[in-house]
């Protein structure tokens, strides 16, 4: 669980990074920014801030914001109702992001899984993205990603997004938010 | 037809607008930027500059750049091979764009079709987009758009893009580029 004041602080920090990236949001988008804490209660380490621009039955576009060092935990997008799982393209806009996907592990990766959760991270092929660089993740492919020390802003272009179907390696994780007063 | 030096000048002008919008491109993206002049030989009035980030069989993402006052002429995206036509979301990132779609014509629209081509513009429901504002155009819907006096940068999120299938109202238009030396 996460308190309302934690949500607000994360939204404000993410809004500052989006502003640094030159990305203009409406007031409604800023106020409605999604803060995913994945049910682990360690938002600074494991979490993600999202602005969903559009999610139709054909395509989806979002801005993903990672606070400094923040990690989006390992998951995959499985097929749903006979459609292949979500395919997504990450384009780094600001900061630095370290993306890990299935394949030959990279020796001496630049990021490490959050302390205490190492056992739930199993893929280590590293793709480092600086602003202007992008990578497309095939459907149903395990992946996780972490921001560098300044944080990161990443545009995500994809097929339809069905967050409730995501499969996380860590069985403790809940994708949908729980917020408590505070 | 368009000369190589006209293409280069349009690419450079568009790159400056993208930079003003805070959008970082790779050198390859800058060098490969598409300049569409639509076969009319009046690029300053009727034309579009594009950076295609990704175009898979499931989704597509581009940056569209309009130089000051430049117009992308009226067209629609018809169904192709049993799939509904392209659906697209325009999100203004910088400058101002006037988008026209089917529906009740807006009294006193802020943009006007390019001189000499008025007869090929038939839809006049105006949607004005400032940075942070967006609009989704349904498939097979006639639309055209024009930049304000400073130009415009627009992110396009969409289903798969098949430019060769686009249907333009103006029968003189050729979507695919012809470039001549010069």
Closest Cα partner for B119 from B77, B175, B74, B70? B74
User: Residue B68 above 80 pLDDT?
Assistant: yes
Read off the pLDDT band of A37 (50, 70, 90): very high
Phi, psi for A64 (deg, rounded to 5): -105, 135
Instruction: Please give the pLDDT value at position A27.
Output: 96
Whether A89 and B155 lie within 8 Å, measured CB to CB? no
Question: Do the beta carbons of residue A136 and residue B54 sit within 8 Å?
Answer: yes
User: Residue B182 above 60 pLDDT?
Assistant: no
Instruction: Please give the pLDDT value at position A177.
Output: 62
Q: What is the mean pLDDT of residues A162-179?
A: 86
Read off the pLDDT band of B109 (50, 70, 90): very high
Q: How far is B59 from chain A (nearest CA, A)?
A: 6
Phi, psi for B3 (deg, rounded to 5): -90, 160
Q: How far is B22 from chain A (nearest CA, A)?
A: 5
Q: What is the mean pLDDT of residues A84-98?
A: 98
Determine the Cα–Cα distance for residues B44 and B67; give it in Å rounded to an integer.
Answer: 7
Q: Does B155 touch chain A (CB under 8 A)?
A: yes
pTM for this predicted structure: 0.96
Instruction: Tell me the longest C-alpha to C-alpha distance in chain A.
Output: 44
User: Residue A17 above 80 pLDDT?
Assistant: yes
Instruction: Please give the pLDDT value at position B179.
Output: 61
Q: Which of B26, B89, B93 sits opposite A54 (nearest CB)?
A: B89
User: Residue B172 above 90 pLDDT?
Assistant: yes
**Interface mutation vs chain A, best among B61, B83, B139, B156, most A CBs within 10 Å:** B61
Determine the Cα–Cα distance for residues B30 and B124; give it in Å rounded to an integer.
Answer: 33
More confident of the two residues B86 and B178: B86
Q: Which of B23, B26, B58 sits opposite A133 (nearest CB)?
A: B26
Q: Does B21 touch chain A (CB under 8 A)?
A: yes
User: Does the complex come out with an ipTM higher than 0.85?
Assistant: yes
Q: Does A52 touch chain B (CB under 8 A)?
A: no
Give B85's DSSP letter.
P
Chain A residue closest to B54 (CA)?
A89
Task: Enumerate residues 125 to 154 of chain B having a beta carbon within 8 A of any beta carbon in chain A.
Answer: 131-134, 136
pLDDT tens for residues A146-169?
A: 999 999 999 999 999 999 999 999
Read off the pLDDT band of B84 (50, 70, 90): very high
The radius of gyration computed from the CA coordinates of chain B, to the nearest angstrom, equals 15
Q: Does A18 touch chain B (CB under 8 A)?
A: no
Read off the pLDDT band of A181 (50, 70, 90): low
- Provide the strand spans (E) within chain A: 2-3, 34-36, 48-55, 60-66, 71-76, 88-101, 125-129, 134-137, 143-158, 167-168, 179-180
Q: What is the mean pLDDT of residues A82-89?
A: 96
Determine the Cα–Cα distance for residues A23 and A96; give it in Å rounded to an integer.
Answer: 16
pLDDT tens for residues B16-45?
A: 999 999 999 999 999 999 999 999 999 999
């Amino acid at each position: 669980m996460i308190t309302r004041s934690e949500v607000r602080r994360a939204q404000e920090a993410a809004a500052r990074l989006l502003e640094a990236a030159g990305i203009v949001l409406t007031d409604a988008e800023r106020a409605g920014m999604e803060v995913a804490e994945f049910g682990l209660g360690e938002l600074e380490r494991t979490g993600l801030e999202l602005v969903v621009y559009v999610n139709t039955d054909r395509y989806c576009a979002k801005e993903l914001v990672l606070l400094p060092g923040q990690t989006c935990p390992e998951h995959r997008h499985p097929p749903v109702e006979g459609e292949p799982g979500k395919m997504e393209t990450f384009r780094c806009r600001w900061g630095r992001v370290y993306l890990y996907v299935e394949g030959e592990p990279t020796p001496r990766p630049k990021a490490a899984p959050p302390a205490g959760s190492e056992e739930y991270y199993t893929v280590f092929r590293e793709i480092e993205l600086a602003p202007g660089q992008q990578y497309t993740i095939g459907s149903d492919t395990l992946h996780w990603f972490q921001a560098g020390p300044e944080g990161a802003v990443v545009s995500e272009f994809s097929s339809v997004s069905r967050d409730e179907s995501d499969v996380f390696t860590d069985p403790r994780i809940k994708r949908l938010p729980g917020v408590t007063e505070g």
